[in-house]
Amino acid sequence: MRKNIVAGNWKMNTTLQEGVKLAEEVNNALKEVKPNCDVIICVPFTHLASINNVISKGLGLGAENCADHKSGAYTGEVSAPMVASTGAKYVILGHSERRQYYGETAATLREKVALALENDLTPIFCIGEVLEEREADKHFDVVKSQIVDGLFNLSAEEFSKIILAYEPVWAIGTGKTATADQAEEMHAHIRNVIAEKYGQDVAQGTSILYGGSCKPSNAKELFAKPDVDGGLIGGASLKCADFMGIVNAF
C-alpha cells in the first residue's frame, strides 16, 4: 500500500549553519514522536552532505532540483549522480517555481526524471495549475497534461517509484490553502489519470502529496481525505515546531 509522507521543501532559505541546526532539531524531534508517516527534508545543494552526516535513518533527505545532464560543461549545474553521492535519496522535480522562473519544460523534466531514477533518487514530481487556469475551469486538463508530458514515457515499474505532489500555484506561499475538498477532488482525478495509463495497482500504490500553504492548523483535515497521502511543505518546514505539527497530523 502507498505511504503517507510529509516532506519539507526549504527552497532558498537558511545558511549552511542554520540548515544543519534545523535538520538536527527535526531529527531529534522525530526520535521522540515515532511518526505515522515517512518524513523527508529537501534542502539546498550546499547543505546536503553536511545534513546527511547529522541525521538518522528515520529522516529522509532530498535535493530541490537536479540537472538535466549527467556531467560535463554545464557551469553551475548539479547532477543527479552528485546529489546521490551526498547520501540524499530524493529530489524535487518540476516545482512550479522552477517551471515559472527557470523555464523548465516537460522535455527537460523527462531528462531529469530519467537521471534521478538511474541514480536511485526518488523524484517528488510537482504539478499544479495557476489561478487563471482554475478560473477558466482548465485545472483538471492542465494537471493531466503535466503528468502525461512529464512522466508517461516511463514504464510502469519506473512510474511506481515516483512520488507526486499536487501544488496549486495560487496556494503556494500565499496563505490561501486549497480546501480539503478541492484537494481531494484533484487528487482523485490524478489517481484516475494514473490508473488509465498504468492500471489500478500502480495508481493505488502512488503517494500523492498536497502542497500549498499547508500548516499545522489545516494539515489534519487535508490528510484525512482518502486520496491525500501527505504534504510537501514550504514555509512551515522552516520551523521545527510547525513542521512537526504537520507530521503529527497523521
Interface residues toward ligand PGA, by CB under 6 A: 9, 167, 172-173, 211-214, 232-236
Q: What is the C-alpha separation between 28 and 102, in angstroms, rounded?
A: 35
Beta carbon nearer to ligand PGA, 66 or 172: 172
**Min separation Cβ 245 and ligand PGA, Å:** 13
Does 95 participate in catalysis according to the annotation?
yes
Beta carbon nearer to ligand PGA, 6 or 232: 232
Q: Looking at this protein, which amino acid is placed at residue 164?
A: L
Beta-bridged to residue 39, according to DSSP, are 6, 59
Q: All 3 cell numbers of residue 29?
A: 524531534
**Min separation Cβ 174 and ligand PGA, Å:** 7
**Min separation Cβ 212 and ligand PGA, Å:** 5
Beta carbon nearer to ligand PGA, 9 or 79: 9
Which residue among the candidates 64, 97, 133, 167 is catalytic per the annotation? Answer: 167
Residue with the CB atom nearest ligand PGA in the bound state: 234
Long-range contact list for 102-110, CB < 8 A, 24+ apart?
106/146, 106/149, 106/150, 108/68, 109/68, 109/150, 110/149, 110/150, 110/151, 110/153
For the chain, the straight-line distance linking the first and the last C-alpha, in angstroms and rounded, comes to 16
Which residue among the candidates 47, 64, 95, 189 is catalytic per the annotation? Answer: 95
Does 129 participate in catalysis according to the annotation?
no
**Min separation Cβ 86 and ligand PGA, Å:** 21
Q: Is 1 exposed, middle or buried (0-12, 13-18, 19+ CB in 10 A)?
A: exposed
Beta carbon nearer to ligand PGA, 59 or 219: 219
Count of alpha carbons within 13 Å of 10, Cβ hemisphere only? 28
> What single-letter DSSP state applies at residue 235?
G
| Secondary structure class of 65 (helix, strand, coil) | coil
Q: What is the C-alpha separation between 207 and 216, in angstroms, rounded?
A: 20
Beta carbon nearer to ligand PGA, 27 or 218: 218
**Min separation Cβ 155 and ligand PGA, Å:** 28
Sign of CA dihedral 239, 240, 242, 247: positive
The catalytic residues are: 95, 167
